[in-house]
A and B are shown apart, each in its own frame.
Chain A
Amino acid sequence: MRPSPSNPAPFPRLLPWLLLIGGGIGLVAAFVLAVEKIALLTDPAYVPSCSINPVLSCGSIMSTPQAELFGFPNPLLGIACFAVVTTVGAVLLAGAELPRRFWLGLQAGVTGGVLFVHWLIFQSLYVIGALCPYCMVVWAVTVPLFWYVTLRNFAAGRLAAYHGVPVTVWFLTLIAMIGVRFWSFWSTLLPVTF
């Protein structure tokens, strides 16, 4: 169902704030990652602030080829794209009415983002075998951004009514995957041995 004057787009209040705040959080995470990457480049012995333990370890992730999929560090993409998302949120809050073709452009952006993020999740969990906290922040904001922009552009009534459920299930699934994948490590952190 296309939004039209008689049928206003869903989430008129939620979406601008989500874009502003979600984009802002993603921007900060990408920026920190880029700064850490530069620190790592100037000093190979540098231990990034997010290398906490063998599983939560940015250092081991940042030095993989997956961290530079397009030949340059991924966070640079994040800085550029999240800045745009944040700006769109601000523009909407300022009261702008954006044409559908603009929304479709944003849709292309968030779709690319969400695909990339899922590839990174797979690589991180099952190929590299470590997690990077700042990257996980990016995962956590990208999926809601994609979901709500998609709902706004193409929402069918029923799905939009229960819009929170798929996002919740996605988060729970990811938590379960992380829990299971690194179980042998998490179990060593627990007071009881399993």
Chain B
Amino acid sequence: MPQQHDGTEARRAKVEALRAEERQRSARRRNVAVSVSAIGVFAVVAAVWLAMASLGSDSGAAGAAQVVREDSHRLGTAADGKVTLVEFLDFECEACRAYFPTVEQLRKDYAGRVTFVARYFPIGGHFNAERAARAVEAAAKQGKFDAMYRRMYETQSQWGEKQVPADAFFRKMAEGLGLDLAAWDKAYEDPATLARVRKDAADGEALGVQGTPTFFLNGERIEPRTPDEFKAALDAALAE
């Protein structure tokens, strides 16, 4: 009799153990299933978002993009507003730095006859390019776009091509120009400043700008290789 009782007990314990194991297994399955579902939902949302982003830029490309906007920075304005030269530039780009003296010379030579517009186009691969654009935009808020723009190129060899933030360097630069530093700091960190820079770049992207500098003369893209070619293009536009 006691033996039989023990047998029942053992059987019951075994069944109990099997059940517990089964419960554990199904709990594990549920845990994995819910986790994997979360990953699945995430993947779907990300895919939809990517698709919408790509559609958005395709449709916006033709209509919305403009070579010059009301708020674009003008380095010089033509009295008659007939000829406009727009440069999409990146302060950390060496080619832009190489074109800088030419553009400065053209600004002198064609002052009052050609409108010179500078638009931000910081390249993703340049670590401090967007920061530099923000620094210039922050200076522009105090009416010092031109001065900061020139200082950026003049000092490019000191801050460019580095993988560390050049915030302190740019701040010194702003200080050197006698800017109101508190206001400059605020503008430099202001998301609106970054948005302003990105808006320029978005226009550039929509216009097919891929590298810097990219020049548009009266809305047409030009690729002058020498200062003389540049002058010839401007002269031709003025003569039209």
Contact = CB atoms under 8 A, between A and B. Distances in A.
Contacts of B38: 165, 168-169, 172
Interface stretch (B24-32, B76-84, B150-158, B232-240): B24-32
Contact of B54 (A172, A175, A192): A192
A168 B37 CA distance: 10
Interface residues of B, number: 25
A185 B164 CA distance: 16
Interface residues of A, number: 29
B51 to A, nearest CB: 10
B27 A161 contact: yes
Nearest to B127: A54
Most chain B beta-carbon neighbours within 10 Å: one of A53, A168, A187, A188: A168
B50 to A, nearest CB: 8
Nearest to B202: A184
A78 B46 CA distance: 33
Contact of A54 (B32, B50, B125, B198): B125
A162 B26 CA distance: 11
Interface in B43-63: 46, 50, 53-54, 56-57
B112 interface: no
Interface in B96-147: 123-127
Contacts of B46: 176, 179
A185 B201 CA distance: 13
B35 interface: yes
Contacts, number: 62
A163 B163 contact: no
A172 B163 contact: no
SS of A interface (majority):
helix
B189 to A, nearest CB: 10
Interface string B161-174: 00111000000000
Interface of A: 47, 51, 53-54, 57, 59-60, 63, 128-129, 161-165, 167-169, 172, 175-176, 179, 184-185, 187-188, 192-194
Ranked nearest first, the 9 interchain pairs of A and B with the lowest CB-CB distance are: A188-B124, A164-B35, A168-B35, A54-B127, A172-B42, A60-B164, A194-B53, A185-B124, A164-B31
27 contacts: A47-B163, A54-B124, A59-B163, A59-B164, A63-B164, A161-B27, A161-B30, A162-B34, A163-B31, A164-B31, A164-B32, A164-B34, A165-B31, A165-B34, A165-B35, A168-B35, A172-B38, A172-B39, A175-B42, A184-B198, A185-B124, A187-B53, A188-B123, A188-B125, A193-B57, A194-B50, A194-B57
